[in-house]
Structure 1
Amino acid sequence: MITVTHVKKQLLVLLLSGCALLSRAQNQNSTHGEYGIKGVVIDSASGQPLGYVTVSLSRGNEGVRKTVLSGTDGRFGFSGLVSGTYSLTMMLVGHQRKKLEIKVDKDDAGTKNIGTVLLGHSNNDLKEVVVSAERPVIKQEIDRLSYDLEADPDSKGSNVLEMMRKVPMLSVDAEDNILLKGDRNYKILLNGKPSGMLERSPKEILKSMPASSIVRIEVITTPPAKYDGEGLTGIINIITNKRIDNGYNGSLNVNGRFPANGPGTGGSLNLKSGKLGLGINGGGNVSDVPAVGSSRFRETFGGSPTMLVQSVSQESNGNSGYFNTELSFEIDSLNLISGQFNINGNKWNNDNLQYSELQGADLMIQRYNLVNDYLRKGRGSDAGLNYQMGFKSDKNRLLTFSYRYYGFVNTGSNNISIYEAVNFYDPEYRQKNEGRFSEQTLQADYVHPFKKITIETGIKAIFRNNKSDFGYDSFDADQGIFVRDPARTNVFKNTQNIYSFYNTYQYTIGGWGFKAGFRVEKTVIDADFVSAATQLNRDYTSLIPSVSVNRKLTDNSNLNFGYTTRIQRPGIDLLNPFTDRSNPNFESSGNPALRTASVDMFQLNYSTFKKGNLNIGLLLGFFDDLVMPMSYFDPETNISYTSYGNTGSARMTGMEFAFSYPLTKKWKYSLNANFGYGKVNGVVNGEKVSNKGLMPSIFSSTDYKMDKGWRFSANVSYYGRGITLQGRSNGIVGSGFSVNREVVKDKLTFSLAANNLFTKYRESENRTTGTDFIQQSNNRSYFRSFSASLDYRFGKLKESIKKSRRGIRNDDVAGGGN
């Protein structure tokens, strides 16, 4: 029987063998010579040197080997050549193209100076060009798919979370959690780097981030080995960096939304002066949610069956904000320093009123009313510095050193009051949990392009510290004060040190493109319960191969295949042993003994882009040691307990379909659909459990461009049920209508939107089943909403800024608030 492990080993052997052969071939064929060519480009009319002339070097039928730009003094040069005859082609806008044949041999001592080259002016004036075709919204690359938000007019009146519903392979469930291929185990990057605000509280930040500040969203389906191995189903990369040039540009968005989720604002500013560049993004959101109701139901079986019914009224308000900046300084054409700094924070207050009644077969067992004043707040920051060094022989050859610090603090507190209680004797109590996380990363990357192959390698070290300080205080009626309960109070510390090495190869020949590599990661974990003087230590090594193959079928169609292994290390949210007792009949906690989960993922994708866009993908995933929630009922206490364990093994098959087509010059239709079928197996409380089901999501939209700058769009969506080891969640249907108008062309846009006009509330159902119980929670939230948005763009651009092409990407931790 052929297993996934056997396939992985065979792929790794083939990969290493292929890498060795390619490397040997390149070493034989790419020996640098000892000759060079240099010269000066002069304007034939003025006699002045011409800067920024594109000078291309080719030899025979080999195509272009190297390309350089002339300096401001008109000088250019090539080195590392072998003897032979070369063609030099020189091009500059407004000037005639010139081609020269240059021969270098043993008679030339070192570098051959061809002297002055004159470029004459072109007689053809550059006239205005009107482009009538719209650029494609979806683009398929060898290992990723990207969605161009700038090409989608809906982005001017929506936030980023709303636009994610339109991105192939992404969906947003009933709780506003982002799903990739129907799963929450992924990582989100900002401009190819981790961002503290998205690692800690992504959905709150993305709700407050205007989509007009985003260039595109990339879904990296087969992450290459240069990325960390974590993020089971892939990586979501949000690109905010617009083309920043000498001068400045920016955008400002102001929006209002009611009856819930409040007003918000956000914007960006990009500055470029000489060698110094600065990019800034920031925003905030205020949200007041009027009172809504929810309920919880549990039925137990066995010798003493019970029925529990709870109803809750909840009112909440909160705010969130973020600020991030990137700085770049080009020391010279070969040396670049860049850095980033991000801060973010949020605060949320919930007032809950709960009625609970527990019934036995013939009598009432327990009843009480509970008031819970819950406060949640957090703050986070991260900063990084990158130094990139190029090489004169080839400016695409790069050496990069990077450092990053990231940390956050999340605090949650509950103040619980009980009144009108029958057969309930627990006193009033308070519980508080403060979670802290800090991380430091050191990384070095090296990129060496040869003729047709590019080799990348790097080393990395991550040092993580998790800490949870939790306490439980109960009211002592005799003393009239709250007293700390030491049995429910502790300090938990967890450190993760990760050391990794990677090697990747990218090779192109004919219509084929190959990207393959491997990554080795060693993880060392130490956990410590300070108060109980208990420790947990272990280490392990992970081998992570990845292979991506692209076949160009025509100029407009591609076929992609990808295979990779991904892992998921549990984060502090899943490890934290703090027990949440805010509901006396339901308790939940993390598990500090969790291990790393892994998946072997195979993907096949076909895409064609011509008048319309079509993308069809198939995937197959095998999951091991999957971290899943586990629930069981204790009849002695009448409490349901939920924690996490590496109990799950799963298999998932899926299909992704994305289609966009212009029905007329003004009318466009799009469809984005994902269908996944999953089966999960595990053990809960000593009993074997399995679950399976279809998990569909469909988003359909249409867009019509009217006269005088008006545009109308409408959408309808369906997000099917989700499945867990013991349960499922319900599906949901949504709709939306929007209209926007460019008040000032390319500058000022006004938008109005109405979402879910036909449904005031969203009803979310989560059902869990055990051997002796069934429980279900029904949560209600505002679904119908109206919004208005004003988006303003300003500035003027001239010349592009430099940015580091490599940097730190930590994309591995699960449970970061998704």
Structure 2
Amino acid sequence: MKTSFFAIPLILSANAAFAQDVQKNDTTAGSSYDLEDLVVVADKPIVQSDGAKLTYNLQEDPSTKGNTLLDALRKVPMVSVDGEDKIRINGQENFKIYVNGKEDPSLSANYKNIFKAMPADAIVKVEVITEPGAKYDAEGTAGILNLITITKNSTDGYSGSIQATLSKAQSGGSLYGRMKKGKLTMSANFDYANGRLVPQHSDNITTLENTLSSDAGRQVNSMKQRVGFDYIGGGLNLSYDLSDRDLITVNSNIYAVKGDLLKDKSTYSSIIYNADNSIRGEVFRRIDAQIANTGITAGTSWQHDFNGNGHKTILSYLFNHGYNKLEGNLFTEKSSGVSLADPYEKMLNKDFNNEHTIQLDYENPFGDGKHKLELGGKAVWRRNNTDSYNLNGDSGSTAELTDKSDLTQIQDIYAAYASYTGKFGNLSANAGVRYEHTRMGINFHYGDTPDFLNHLNDVVPNAGLTYSFSYTSNLRLAYQMRISRPSLSQVNPFKQTFTPNQVTMGNPNLSSEKSNKVSLTYTNFGSVFGGNIGIEYSSIDNSIAHTYTMIDDVLYESYGNMGHDRRIAIFGMCNWTIIPRMQFMVNARLTRQMFSAEEMSNKGWNLNYGANWNYSLQSGFKFNLYGGQKTRSYNLTGYNDGYYYYGLGISKDFLKNDAMTVTLSANNFLQGHNTYRTVTDTKGIRTTGEYKNSNWNVGISLSWRFGSLKSDVKKTDKSINNDDKSSFGAKSGNGL
């Protein structure tokens, strides 16, 4: 039986309290305890971990009510969110995002827009999978971020919940329902969020110092954004028992985000200075831009049990569709000196992502359940299309086409895997290998850029050994290899010129990168304390890194397979059950980051830590305090300054069976805005960015639960997981 080491202290602490209560009685006369009537009162643990996967239960954390999902992720151990809303797992950006175990390509490419709009209440728990096995796709060097929206219950009939939220960050509501009748089980959810009542504020100042040019020594760009948005999401899950050994499931999910810059309050300005610090030219522009992100997922699975003892096979199909659009209009209201921009510019970028996946999995336990063999195969056919263009001129009616990109990215993946898990006394072992053949390329439908097609063959092994000293403590040694393929935005050669004299473009000649990681982790449940401590070394060669080139005073930013990434990390996590209703959790990770490429190198230390305190009263009140910090982090060409965060939450249960919960929450409320600083320095070009955003939030949330349901919504034991695309530096032109 697999038990969370954070759940065990609750039980042991309660048993200790029971024993102390018995010892207080000098005699046993007149005192009796019926174990069937003894109830251990304790909250579900917020954090659970088994060494290879960490789970953060958002529903047990009242401080996340009324927050966005992006804000809630700041509290999850091993996950960090920087000032530019980039998510990192263990300090790395290359990870995959799942929803209920299924990868969504449009979500992975545009998570910053969606997570800022998605309410945290729509997510039940977050899983951080740091050791994916051979049955997972080989892509994603940092791991997998899995968002769980399915709620389990143990009552019969039907059940549901209604929730409403009003906060500075967003307002909205959600509906969730489950029912079972005969062999049919169904669940459905709907979520809505509005971020237009109090638009998001951000100011970004970028200073470009160019020692390679005598004409333009320095350029200062300033952008003010006021963004409003709407988010709508929903899902439907069905399962039907064809027989005692056959189960079929159908699932579908859809989301849509629509946002826009408030054109009267969103501006851009740029000033160019000569080498003697005199102004060479300046421009002031008004911005009118809109974004639209839509994702649709639909799939089905059939599971057949051969003997009811875990010997089974599963056949699955999954379809994903994503649509992402960015449309921007820039109006020049002031311009002097050197011409930095045309009076009018229009940008339009549209991405369409479609993929079909078929997967077959087979499991066969043997040797009285102490051994298990897993085999499987998978085929993915993916077509990603992008259509982009720029118009420049004196006005919208006279603007002419200056740049255009129309292309289709081809990515066909054929994979097979085999893995073994066995237990030999106190020693457990697992090993697996995955083979992936990739056919990838780009067909250009406009211009004279030649089409290209590459074939990649990757063999990806993994292995792990766990020695159990006792039921509550173990030592685990693990090895993981992962690969990263370039994303569409990284290979798209289309030139984006949102900022004058700065061009962002992809590199069609990118190839995949490989990562090797070795970790040693000691875990001890303890009676009151529970946690782990470990050390990890990872190495990435030929990694995808940013490149910067100055041509005719124009800075070109792109990507190249030119980096070597080495990291040594010491990490740990501890959960203290002070009393059965009070918990304190702290986690920390210290990493030595080392980068090199050709004539460049960079290195430094990074510390990431966080703490979380929870206390529940018998009266129904729940209290939560949290906070943390991330120090400066490094990359090949520079660094990102650190930041800190904090917050609190108070909730109270009402009505029979605590059916209604009211939650008050607040975070980062002692300052009007946070400031984040990034520095890039390479080959005579130094870029300094200062990003300010108003991320404080206060809010109130109301939740009402009704009905009951005994049988959970069933799903087949395996589902399709497409985690084979790189998330590093994803710039599809859809962010604001």
Shorter-chain TM band: 0.7 to 0.9
Matched letter for residue 400 of structure 1: I
The structural deviation recorded for 1:208 is 4.9
Matched, 1:494 2:404: no
- Tell me the residue number matched to 1:736: 647
- Tell me the residue number matched to 1:318: 229
The structural deviation recorded for 1:247 is 1.6
Matched, 1:396 2:307: no
CA contact (8 A) 2:328 2:346 kept: yes
CA contact (8 A) 2:117 2:257 kept: no
Which SS does the other structure have where 1:663 is aligned? strand
- Tell me the residue number matched to 2:49: 140
How far apart are the structure 2 equivalents of 1:312 and 1:159?
Answer: 24
Distance 1:205 1:431, change over 3 A: closer
CA contact (8 A) 1:208 1:283 kept: no
- Corresponding residue to 2:161 among 239, 245, 251: 251
- Of the structure 1 ranges 333-342 and 796-805, higher mean CA displacement relative to structure 2 is found in 796-805
- Corresponding residue to 2:447 among 529, 532, 538: 532
Matched letter for residue 222 of structure 2: S
How far apart are the structure 1 equivalents of 2:46 and 2:96?
Answer: 23
Matched, 1:777 2:689: yes
- Tell me the residue number matched to 1:439: 355
The structural deviation recorded for 1:673 is 1.4
Distance 1:694 1:643, change over 3 A: same
CA contact (8 A) 1:210 1:267 kept: no
- Corresponding residue to 1:466 among 384, 392, 407: 384
Structure 2 runs not aligned, ≥5 long? 2-32
- Of the structure 1 ranges 436-445 and 577-586, higher mean CA displacement relative to structure 2 is found in 577-586
TM-score by length of 2: 0.88
Matched, 1:570 2:486: yes
- Corresponding residue to 1:294 among 190, 204, 210: 204
Equivalences for residues 794-813 of structure 1 within 5 A: 794-813=706-725
How far apart are the structure 1 equivalents of 2:51 and 2:227?
Answer: 45
CA contact (8 A) 2:491 2:508 kept: yes
Matched letter for residue 676 of structure 1: T
- Corresponding residue to 2:283 among 365, 368, 378: 368
How far apart are the structure 2 equivalents of 1:561 and 1:220?
Answer: 16
How far apart are the structure 1 equivalents of 2:511 and 2:96?
Answer: 18
Equivalences for residues 593-672 of structure 1 within 5 A: 593-609=509-525, 610-634=527-551, 636=552, 638-672=553-587
Distance 1:355 1:526, change over 3 A: closer
- How large is the Cα RMSD of the aligned pairs? 2.5
How far apart are the structure 2 equivalents of 1:211 and 1:617?
Answer: 30
How far apart are the structure 2 equivalents of 1:457 and 1:323?
Answer: 33
- Tell me the residue number matched to 1:697: 608
The structural deviation recorded for 1:151 is 4.5
How far apart are the structure 2 equivalents of 1:738 and 1:144?
Answer: 26
How far apart are the structure 2 equivalents of 1:354 and 1:384?
Answer: 44
Distance 1:292 1:366, change over 3 A: same
Distance 1:302 1:155, change over 3 A: closer
The structural deviation recorded for 1:512 is 2.1
- Of the structure 1 ranges 418-427 and 674-683, higher mean CA displacement relative to structure 2 is found in 418-427
Distance 1:262 1:144, change over 3 A: closer
- Tell me the residue number matched to 1:430: 346
Matched, 1:711 2:628: no
Matched letter for residue 409 of structure 1: Y
How far apart are the structure 2 equivalents of 1:612 and 1:235?
Answer: 27
Structure 1 runs not aligned, ≥5 long? 1-62, 64-123
How far apart are the structure 1 equivalents of 2:44 and 2:224?
Answer: 48
How far apart are the structure 2 equivalents of 1:166 and 1:476?
Answer: 49
Which SS does the other structure have where 1:439 is aligned? strand
Which SS does the other structure have where 1:581 is aligned? coil
- Of the structure 1 ranges 456-465 and 607-616, higher mean CA displacement relative to structure 2 is found in 607-616
The structural deviation recorded for 1:211 is 4.6
- Corresponding residue to 1:747 among 659, 676, 680: 659
The structural deviation recorded for 1:419 is 2.9
Distance 1:733 1:494, change over 3 A: same
CA contact (8 A) 1:208 1:266 kept: no
- Tell me the residue number matched to 1:420: 334
- Tell me the residue number matched to 1:4: none
How far apart are the structure 2 equivalents of 1:374 and 1:207?
Answer: 17
Distance 1:572 1:282, change over 3 A: farther
Distance 1:327 1:649, change over 3 A: same
Number of corresponding residues: 684
How far apart are the structure 2 equivalents of 1:501 and 1:328?
Answer: 27
Matched letter for residue 178 of structure 2: N
Matched, 1:262 2:170: yes
CA contact (8 A) 1:433 1:578 kept: no
The superposition leaves residues 117-137 of structure 1 with CA deviations (integer Å, 9 ceiling, x where unpaired) of xxxxxxx99954411344444
How far apart are the structure 2 equivalents of 1:236 and 1:167?
Answer: 11
Equivalences for residues 214-229 of structure 1 within 5 A: 214-229=123-138
The superposition leaves residues 35-72 of structure 1 with CA deviations (integer Å, 9 ceiling, x where unpaired) of xxxxxxxxxxxxxxxxxxxxxxxxxxxx9xxxxxxxxx
How far apart are the structure 2 equivalents of 1:746 and 1:620?
Answer: 47
Matched letter for residue 724 of structure 1: N
Which SS does the other structure have where 1:574 is aligned? helix
TM-score by length of 1: 0.79
How far apart are the structure 1 equivalents of 2:119 and 2:538?
Answer: 34
CA contact (8 A) 1:296 1:777 kept: yes
How far apart are the structure 1 equivalents of 2:425 and 2:470?
Answer: 12
Matched letter for residue 278 of structure 1: M
Distance 1:677 1:746, change over 3 A: farther
The structural deviation recorded for 1:792 is 2.1
Distance 1:420 1:173, change over 3 A: closer
- Corresponding residue to 1:550 among 456, 466, 471: 466
- Tell me the residue number matched to 2:500: 584
